[in-house]
Amino acid sequence: MTTIYRQRVSARNSDTNSVKNPDYSNLSITPNRTEAVSVVIPAMNEEKNIPYVLDALPRWIYECILVDGNSKDNTVRVAREVMPSIKVVRQTRRGKGNALACGFKAASGDIIVMLDADCSTRPEEIKLFVETLIETGADFAKGSRSLEGGGSADLTALRRLGNWALSKCVNVLFKTDFTDLCYGYNAFWADILPEFDLHVEPVDPFSISPMLWGDGFEIETLLALRAASANLTIVEIPSIEDSRMHGRSNLNAFRDGMRVARTIRTEWKRKKRPIEEVEEKAVQKEKSDVA
Ligand X SMILES: Nc1nc2c(ncn2[C@@H]2O[C@H](COP(=O)(O)OP(=O)(O)O)[C@@H](O)[C@H]2O)c(=O)[nH]1
List contacts with ligand X (CB under 6 A): 42-44, 46, 67-69, 91, 94-96, 99, 116-118, 120, 244, 249-251
* DSSP secondary structure of 110-169: SEEEE--SSS-B-GGGHHHHHHHHHHH--SEEEEESSSTT-EESS--HHHHHHHHHHHHH
Number of helices and strands in the chain (H, E)? 9, 10
Nearer to Mg ion, 94 or 244 (CB): 244
Nearer to ligand X, 79 or 232 (CB): 79
C-alpha 86: how far from chain center: 20
Residue 88 Cβ vs ligand X, minimum distance, rounded to whole Å: 11
207-246 residues near Mg ion, rule: CB under 5 A: 244
Residue 168 Cβ vs ligand X, minimum distance, rounded to whole Å: 20
Nearer to ligand X, 56 or 275 (CB): 56
* DSSP secondary structure of 23-40: --TT----S---S-EEEE
Residue 149 Cβ vs ligand X, minimum distance, rounded to whole Å: 20
Nearer to ligand X, 137 or 151 (CB): 151
Q: Which H or E run includes 172?
A: helix 157-174
Q: Which H or E run includes 7?
A: strand 7-9
Among 68, 110, 118, 135, binds Mg ion (CB under 5 A): 118
Residue 120 Cβ vs ligand X, minimum distance, rounded to whole Å: 6
One character per residue 240-269, x = contact with Mg ion (rule: CB under 5 A)? ----x-------------------------
Angle subtended at Cα 141 by Cα 136 and Cα 147, rounded to the nearest 5 degrees = 100
